[in-house]
């Protein structure tokens, strides 16, 4: 059954060519979640300029259709977040996480808000890591994979105070080494995540490792293009 026209603000996560003068877009919307739509890209009447569908642009999108692939009726740019080359890789990383970890047609307003705030931070700030850690934290929480930072997963009891703990992406924290797949994290890193204070440089690497390893478990081996581009950029600059 054909649905009536819908409207929402949203961001293009991914675009690929589809037939002549058309593209299939993955759009993360504020009220409808992630949707896949066909957009006409043409200079002729009835088509939109390809520049409208570039990443990191907030759009007002109208669409209609049935099934998993909808049709865009119109799209208007509301705001553009201009990102530097480094920041754009961070933005691509966020786009890939949304593309691979969210389900279609499920509204996720908290993740949408966090994503928009992340783009704003990437466009305005010189240090990107805190913004990425905040986004990763919110993403895990809203997807139902939030970190349990209070329980010892080996004993089922509350964690005892210690200077360091062991973290396993599939199980969580423990005061004793649970074996293969775990790694040591300082207590101050756990405290920073609890407080959502991602600005401390002293534990930035440990916080990143905890969140990244948990996300990697959800990705289940899927490689991210953004990570490879980061590695390539580091090689060029060294």
6-80 has CATH 2.40.50.140 classification? yes
pLDDT band at residue 21 under the 50/70/90 scheme: confident
> What's the mean pLDDT in 215-227?
96
Q: What does DSSP assign to residue 139?
A: H
Confidence of residue 44 (pLDDT cuts 50, 70, 90): low
Helices 204-219, 85-101: inter-axial angle, 10-degree rounding: 40
| pLDDT digit string, tens, across residues 50-82 | 789 999 999 999 999 988 999 999 999 999 999
pLDDT value for 1: 36
- How many residues make up the chain in this entry? 238
Task: State how far the Cα of 1 lies from the Cα of 143, in Å rounded to an integer.
Answer: 29
Separation CA 215–CA 224 (nearest Å): 11
114 touches 94 (CB < 8 A): no
Instruction: Give the pLDDT confidence score for residue 2 in this predicted structure.
Output: 44
Picking from 17-21, 144-148, 164-168, 215-219, which range would have the lowest pLDDT averaged per residue?
Answer: 17-21
CATH architecture of 87-146+187-237: Up-down Bundle (1.20)
> Other CB atoms closer than 10 Å to residue 207's CB: what's the count?
24
Domain residue spans in the chain? 6-80, 87-146+187-237
pTM across the whole model? 0.93
**CA pair distance 187, 141, nearest whole angstrom:** 21
Instruction: Return the pLDDT at 46.
Output: 47
Mean pLDDT, the chain, integer: 93
pLDDT bracket for residue 95 (50, 70, 90):
very high
Percent of the chain surpassing pLDDT 70: 95
**Angle between the N-to-C axes of helices 85-101 and 109-124, in degrees from 0 to 180, rounded to the nearest 10:** 170
Whole-angstrom distance, CA of residue 71 vs CA of residue 76 = 15
Mean pLDDT lowest among 47-51, 75-79, 166-170: 47-51
Residue 126 has pLDDT above 50, yes or no: yes
pLDDT at 42: 66
Q: Rounded distance, CA 177 to CA 167, Å?
A: 8
């Amino acid at each position: 059954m054909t649905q009536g026209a819908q409207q929402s603000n949203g961001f293009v996560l991914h675009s690929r060519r589809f037939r002549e003068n058309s593209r299939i877009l993955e759009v993360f919307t504020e009220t409808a979640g992630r949707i896949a739509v066909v957009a006409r890209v043409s200079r002729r009447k009835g088509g939109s300029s390809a520049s409208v569908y570039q990443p990191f642009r907030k759009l007002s999108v109208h669409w209609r259709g049935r099934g998993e692939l909808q049709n865009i009726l119109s799209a208007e740019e509301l705001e553009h977040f201009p990102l530097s080359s480094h920041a754009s890789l961070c933005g691509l990383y966020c786009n890939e996480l949304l593309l691979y970890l969210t389900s279609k047609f499920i509204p996720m307003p908290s993740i949408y808000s966090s994503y928009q705030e992340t783009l704003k931070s990437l466009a305005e700030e010189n240090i990107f890591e805190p913004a990425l850690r905040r986004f990763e934290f919110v993403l895990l929480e809203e997807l139902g994979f939030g970190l349990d930072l209070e329980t010892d997963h080996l004993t089922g009891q509350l964690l005892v105070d210690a200077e360091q703990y062991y973290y396993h992406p599939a199980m969580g924290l423990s005061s004793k080494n649970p074996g293969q797949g775990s790694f040591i994290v300082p207590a101050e890193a756990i405290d920073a995540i609890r407080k959502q204070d991602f600005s401390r440089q002293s534990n930035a690497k440990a916080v990143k490792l905890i969140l990244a390893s948990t996300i990697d478990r959800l990705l289940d081996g899927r490689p991210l293009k953004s990570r490879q581009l980061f590695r390539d950029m580091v090689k060029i600059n060294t």
